[in-house]
Structure 1
């Protein structure tokens, strides 16, 4: 069984977590750290990790006629290197992610089941943030996070320290942006002015202008008024009172 298959199991991953920090533990002690898992299951998976080279036997001692082994984690064997990760088919990432989330859920439930668990006092967090990142910014963020984590991963157990589980998850939540040149240069498919529909009738808050009234028809007793000024180049209907040409109206929808 290769390293990927060894680690792709929630119980085995939890055993690896429990053995971190240079600890040397017996299988019985590991069982105490995983109280929600049966002892038979823990013993079986400890044996698989030892056979696969992820755990080493640190020492042995005889206890009540039986040999009790203390195990130590081989950190260099408990990681999946970049080349191996890159060779995992895309379809298999669903299974890998499911195992990681199942492990995280089991660890969190075990924490909540402990007497005196206080997520507020323990500063428990499981926030999710949407970040807009370019490829360079994403690589820079990963590098910064790696530096912070590596500076703490060398910590060894002590009376002042408690083992914590940190599980960063990062992936693109949308398709990567495409070239928007065509979108910016797209032709205007709106109808020309002469094909635009008439403006809609005024709404309840729009001002209503009175319709122009026709001039009075002179009666028999009316005196003729002065003739309107006319310019020699003026076309009929082009005076001040003539109807204005209909302007094109473009309607837009406001988002939000």
Structure 2
């Protein structure tokens, strides 16, 4: 299975999210982090991620007659890079978006099901903003957002820190202005300048 196929599954994405803290975890610990997913499902998907090289075995120990492995996420492999993204079909993107949304729904449901979940106190937010941006402005904004997010990605877990899931989704919500202009220019009844 290639990286795209490995990542485009809601349970595997949730395992990757849980492993993104930079620490090692056993499958048993991951089951505790994903209490709404059956243990058999977590074990199966951890195995697939390990086979695919996204999870690396950092150590093994015997526990009650079986071998328990500690895994680390290979962050460099757990991404769909620009080259791969460029070769994805529209159907691959449609599937990827569906997985992203399914993963968000599952993570948000698991959050709300926890004892003491308080969206207001926890500053939960989900907003959509329509922005009019040129290609240059869009590229600049993406760079700024990446810088802000990257500056916080290596923060270590601590008693005062809590893991948060941030999922930016960005896509054009209207037609390409050049296509619209060309189509209007082709109409016989379009006004001239």
TM category (shorter chain) comes to: over 0.9
Scaled by the length of structure 1, what TM-score is found?
A: 0.70
Deviation at 1:184, TM superposition (A): 4.3
Aligned pairs for 1:160-239 within 5 A: 160-178=160-178, 179=181, 182=185, 183-185=190-192
Distance 1:142 1:157 in 2: 26
Distance 2:91 2:55 in 1: 29
Which is higher, the Rg of structure 1 or of structure 2? 1
3-state SS in 1 of match to 2:118: coil
Scaled by the length of structure 2, what TM-score is found?
A: 0.93
Distance 2:29 2:4 in 1: 25
Deviation at 1:22, TM superposition (A): 1.1
What CA deviation, in whole Å up to 9, does each residue of 1:87-144 have, x standing for no partner?
A: 0012321111001100010000000000000000000000111111111111111011
Deviation at 1:55, TM superposition (A): 0.5
Distance 2:3 2:59 in 1: 24
* Larger relative helix fraction: 2
Deviation at 1:149, TM superposition (A): 0.6
Counterpart in the other structure of 2:158: 158
Higher relative contact order (CA 8 A, sep 6+): 2
3-state SS in 2 of match to 1:169: coil
Classify 1:63/1:91 alpha carbon distance in 2 versus 1 (closer, same or farther; 3 Å). Answer: closer
Counterpart in the other structure of 1:35: 35
- State whether structure 2 residue 18 is matched by structure 1 residue 11: no
Structure 1: state its 5+ residue gaps.
187-256
User: When the two structures are aligned, how many residues end up with a matched partner?
Assistant: 186
3-state SS in 1 of match to 2:91: helix
Deviation at 1:51, TM superposition (A): 0.7
Distance 1:71 1:7 in 2: 17
Distance 2:89 2:68 in 1: 40
